[in-house]
Structure 1
Amino acid sequence: MKKFRFAFLASAAVLCASTAAHAEDLVFTLKNGTNSVLNNFYASPTGVDSWEDDIFGRQALGPGEEMEITVADGRSVCRYDMRFEFQGEDLDTTTDTQDLCEMGSYTIHE
């Protein structure tokens, strides 16, 4: 019985820890308001000197499309620097800084 109780408590602790980690995830909708394909999207907390990994991975966001973005970096910050890289030479790489906690969505424009 003691082993069962210990296993139950350990399971409950893991469940609580994983729930807390999900609470830190930052979720918003990214909309491509340009006429170009958005190939890469990077977001790093303001003040970090390097870009995190490409959030899109192998995906891209076409003109007029939108995608739900989850920044699951475990941080409890809201201000992020963002970097947008487009396909071809129609648009240059663009950067911006926003408080993503206050925004339910973000639209990149030309």
Structure 2
Amino acid sequence: MRIGLLAFATLVATPALAEDLVFTLVNDSSYTIVEMNVSPVDEELWGENILTVDAVEPGMSGDVTIADGLDVCDYDLRFVADDGTEASKSQNLCEINTFTISD
């Protein structure tokens, strides 16, 4: 397992509480992302793969919605590439409108 091969950048937006969390995922890396898992930072286990497409190729972007009904903002995000590379990051999702993955 190689953690940290993907870098992350975020853009700030207006916080939103008690609503679905929606942001744009941008794959600015050289990796094809095949799985994205999220869980509140205090949870031990990853949630299910939330990608609604088979893969997010380099250069692609799309909206991600987390509609888990929770009143939290801080999530752990895990990305798995088609070669098995993994990367994870904690992020306050209420404060962003774009999440960018890069090498």
Shift of 1:60: 1.2
Shift of 1:67: 1.0
2:47 equivalent to 1:61? no
Please give the alpha-carbon distance, in whole angstroms, between the structure 1 residues aligned to 2:101 and 2:67. Answer: 21
Shift of 1:72: 0.7
Of 26, 46, 51, the residue aligned with 1:31 is 26
Q: Secondary structure at the match of 2:55?
A: coil
| Gapped regions of structure 1 (runs ≥ 5) | 1-22
Shift of 1:33: 1.1
Q: Secondary structure at the match of 1:101?
A: helix
What does residue 46 of structure 1 align with?
41
Greater RCO, 1 or 2 (C-alpha within 8 Å, sep 6+): 2
Q: What TM-score, normalized by structure 1, do the two folds share?
A: 0.73
Q: Which is helix-richer, 1 or 2?
A: 1
What does residue 97 of structure 2 align with?
104
Larger Rg over CA atoms: 1
Shift of 1:24: 2.2
What does residue 73 of structure 2 align with?
78
Q: How many residues align?
A: 86
Q: What TM-score, normalized by structure 2, do the two folds share?
A: 0.78
Q: Which is strand-richer, 1 or 2?
A: 2
- Measured on the aligned residues, the alpha-carbon RMSD in Å equals 1.3
